[in-house]
């Protein structure tokens, strides 16, 4: 297991500033290549609102007015990438900067195929207009991406405690592998947490873990998401690692996953999602 190429997708939001901090911190620790990407939302240039407003102002739709808006968005994107570069330079990390035009979530999903890991902020620059706690661009990324995903909150800190939500599934085992891998470079402790209504079952889920470097904790609870959040919040500077979609996709669509349930809460710690 090795992460040598990291992609961080950023905008001008507070979550993205923290995302740049985390991506630079992890890249420096792993000695990985880091690419910063900003996506200009094509909907802002070619959507119905742009068509209506350009007509109302007397412009030929999508010619003069759209070009001016695009130049402004490109300038803003360059400023975002320059800010990222300044953050990375403080950790002696050189970054590659790229700017794309497209649907934000789809562009990120397509581009990440060339990388080992993706960093994003949980909410973007339009967070105030999202109807839910989960940012509108994050949900399709969480569901469709096939690479490890780091999701940052607004506050950055260096990670002291890595917590792994564990249910003995293949994706949970993969999350544990990544947690141990990160801990070797970040010098963080690893705690594996199994949650079940049946205390004996939660203990049984931990039996196959033989690595003596990790701490094992079993929690009796009906609500897996709440129990994991509460445990993570009890630790200093935590990172919560989860495996995505350990149940069938049909069950996930109906009930929602533990991962997405946690993402929809007002948490203040970052998440790592393994595939």
The pLDDT value given to residue 251: 42
Q: What is the per-residue DSSP string for 241-275?
A: EEES--S-HHHHHHH--HHHHHHTS---S-EEEE-
- Joined together, the tokens standing for residue 124 give 């973007």
The pLDDT value given to residue 156: 96
The pLDDT value given to residue 133: 38
The pLDDT value given to residue 254: 39
Taking only Cα atoms into account, the Rg of the chain, rounded to an integer number of angstroms, comes to: 20
Number of Cβ within a 10 Å radius of residue 165: 27
The pLDDT value given to residue 59: 52
Give the dihedral of Cα atoms 15, 16, 20, 23; nearest 10 deg.
Answer: 70
Q: What values do phi and psi take at 38, rounded to 5?
A: -120, 130
Hey, is 148 helix, strand or coil?
A: coil
Domains annotated for the chain, with CATH where assigned, are 5-152 (3.40.50.620), 161-274 (3.40.50.12370)
Q: In whole angstroms, what is the distance from residue 100 CA to residue 251 CA?
A: 35
Give the dihedral of Cα atoms 180, 181, 184, 185; nearest 10 deg.
Answer: -140
The pLDDT value given to residue 122: 86
The pLDDT value given to residue 87: 97
CA-wise closest residue to 229 among 155, 220, 238: 238
pLDDT in 10s for each residue of the chain, 275 residues = 789 999 999 998 889 999 999 999 999 999 999 999 999 887 766 655 554 554 555 555 545 556 777 788 889 999 999 999 999 999 999 999 999 998 888 999 999 999 999 999 988 655 443 444 345 677 788 888 889 999 999 999 999 999 999 988 888 999 999 999 999 999 999 999 999 888 788 888 898 898 889 999 999 998 999 999 999 999 999 999 998 765 555 444 433 578 778 888 889 999 999 98
């Amino acid at each position: 297991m090795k992460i040598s190429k990291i992609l961080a997708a950023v905008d001008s939001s507070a979550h993205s500033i923290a995302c740049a901090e985390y991506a630079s911190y992890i890249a420096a620790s792993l000695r990985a290549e880091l690419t910063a990407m900003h996506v200009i939302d094509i909907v802002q240039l070619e959507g119905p609102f742009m068509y209506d407003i350009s007509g109302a102002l007397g412009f030929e739709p999508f010619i003069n007015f759209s070009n001016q808006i695009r130049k402004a968005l490109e300038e803003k994107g360059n400023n975002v990438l320059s800010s990222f570069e300044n953050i990375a330079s403080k950790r002696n990390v050189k970054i590659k900067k790229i700017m794309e035009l497209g649907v934000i979530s789809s562009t990120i999903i397509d581009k990440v195929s060339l990388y080992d890991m993706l960093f994003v902020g949980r909410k973007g620059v339009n967070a105030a207009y999202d109807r839910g706690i989960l940012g509108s661009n994050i949900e399709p990324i969480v569901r469709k991406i096939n690479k490890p995903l780091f999701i940052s909150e607004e506050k950055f800190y260096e990670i002291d405690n890595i917590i792994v939500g564990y249910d003995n599934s293949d994706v949970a085992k993969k999350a544990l592998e990544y947690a141990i891998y990160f801990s070797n470079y970040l010098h963080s402790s690893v705690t594996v947490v199994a949650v079940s209504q049946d205390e004996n079952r939660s203990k049984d889920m931990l039996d196959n873990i033989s690595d003596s470097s990790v701490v094992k904790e079993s929690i009796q609870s009906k609500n897996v998401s709440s129990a994991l959040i509460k445990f993570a919040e009890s630790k200093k500077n935590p990172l919560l690692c989860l495996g995505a979609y350990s149940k069938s996709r049909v069950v996930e669509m109906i009930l929602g996953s533990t991962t997405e349930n946690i993402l929809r809460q007002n948490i203040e710690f970052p998440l790592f999602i393994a595939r």
